[in-house]
Structure 1
């Protein structure tokens, strides 16, 4: 699979996934297109290469005017950065997003500042997000549904990765669009890795989100990073272990080194350079380590 390619999701009629080429890295950022009666796009990428989404829609047979729903799983710009671009091209699409995140798509100034602080020099890969018109936003909370005509997306709040994150469950297709709630699926290695970005990562809530996904008993998980994978208790157990051990490793190293040295330790010892390339792999470790350090600080403050 190359950047810009799209494929049907095996066993899930009318679902397709697209490699957006996020950070110029293959098989890192995925967008999902649902060819329903009311067509939908789940997640939108970082804004860069949003034309790939429109091209895939055209080949599937969905015109911009027919797109009914744009549904980021959360407002981190690697999932919602393309929402404004798609909204401008698809005039009839409603943008569905959790109520906490909705104001930041209307006025993305604080979102941009937070993203720049989080991703540092990776910002060069992003397109400046376009504001989404407020009247086109539908605010979501857990328990809501999104009507796609011949199918429905059930909305579940999944705040561990970010307080504005939701997951979408399609009971007819038995799929869950996980956003980042089940970690990063690495198809090259057929395993799952941690994602723990600043500033709102919460380990305990992430573990709860995994149990929310487990209870849905789906057949397929649609990872924002990257692609579909067979749902199983084993996979969810693996992520629970990976995430817990990751936080434990950072906490242990913090007992030996100052914070900047902790970050550099994990950056220098990344195991993902052969998969994502040296630059992206190192940036990923830096981001995730900083997120855990922030979580540890917040946990210590709450215990006082």
Structure 2
């Protein structure tokens, strides 16, 4: 996947499904926004707002008129997933904006969300743009068990609050696929590796592991990651999810052990920021900043678990 490229999802039995690389963090593949060319077309995930026009251009390429877009759906309100929603809502005046209910007010009035994001991502804010508020009358609040009706497709809503209390995943039964948000980690296809995502301030390891059990119960053939795109798992679903459970558990354990050794949280942050193995994937600056973010989330979880 390359910056700005629209790609058809051909994994498994998927049809009517495409994704576009939004060029998030200047890293090819990192930010996938999906377009479901259903009878009632939908965009799932919207990127950080920067380069949101690439999603609109992808709609044009698929001959989906902007006034015909029916749904803009986000798995959670972190701005790398929901930052473009307000821009798309403004450009697509008839689309419902479907947001997990517990986070919807923060996209209607994003001031606190922006402040929290700036605090969490630090220097990475340079890649973002201030989100557009979403009119309350355009928002459809989602709860566990809800269904978004796209006529020839539907998106079934499943709560998955381990990564963030406001996260859900969307099951697309017609495609035997799930839009995972961050519930299944970050799959890096070039390295065939799954890596942790544990941002502050709501990361909860035990709940993340429960969310993986939810995905096992849904039992999709295809995992539609927001970061780096689709992955066919088929009969290897349980193995793939268990791999992430191990990665995430060992990650938190490593942070805890490093904290005990160094006895200073700033030293812990610096240790992981300078020893990350992901620089080849998304560059030194992004890799270092991402490591700091994930360490802070793990440290917060450890504090809350005491």
State the TM-score bracket (shorter-chain normalisation): over 0.9
Q: CA RMSD in A?
A: 0.7
1:171-186 map, 5 Å: 171-186=173-188
**How far off its partner does 1:215 sit?**
0.8
Cα deviations across residues 204-246 of structure 1 (Å, max 9, x unaligned)? 0000001101111111000011200013111101100000000
**How far off its partner does 1:149 sit?**
1.3
Cα deviations across residues 146-187 of structure 1 (Å, max 9, x unaligned)? 000111110000000001100000111100000000000101
Q: What runs of 5+ residues in structure 1 fail to find an aligned partner?
A: none
Query: What secondary structure does 2:175 align onto?
Result: coil
Cα deviations across residues 23-81 of structure 1 (Å, max 9, x unaligned)? 11111111110000000000100000000001111111211111000001000000000
Query: What secondary structure does 1:195 align onto?
Result: coil
Runs of at least 4 residues off by over 2 Å: none
Higher helix share: 2
Cα deviations across residues 80-114 of structure 1 (Å, max 9, x unaligned)? 00000000000000000111111001100100000
Q: TM-score, normalising length from structure 1?
A: 0.98
Query: What secondary structure does 2:117 align onto?
Result: helix
Q: TM-score, normalising length from structure 2?
A: 0.97
Q: 1:237 aligns with which of 232, 238, 242?
A: 242
Q: What runs of 5+ residues in structure 2 fail to find an aligned partner?
A: none
- Bigger mean CA deviation after superposition, 23-32 or 76-85: 23-32
- Residue 276 of structure 1 is matched in structure 2 by 282
1:15-94 map, 5 Å: 15-94=17-96
Instruction: Give the Cα separation in 2 of the matches to 1:250 and 1:288.
Output: 10
Indicate yes or no: 2:131 matched with 1:129. yes
- Residue 157 of structure 1 is matched in structure 2 by 159
Instruction: Give the Cα separation in 1 of the matches to 2:242 and 2:20.
Output: 27
- Residue 288 of structure 1 is matched in structure 2 by 294
Indicate yes or no: 2:140 matched with 1:138. yes
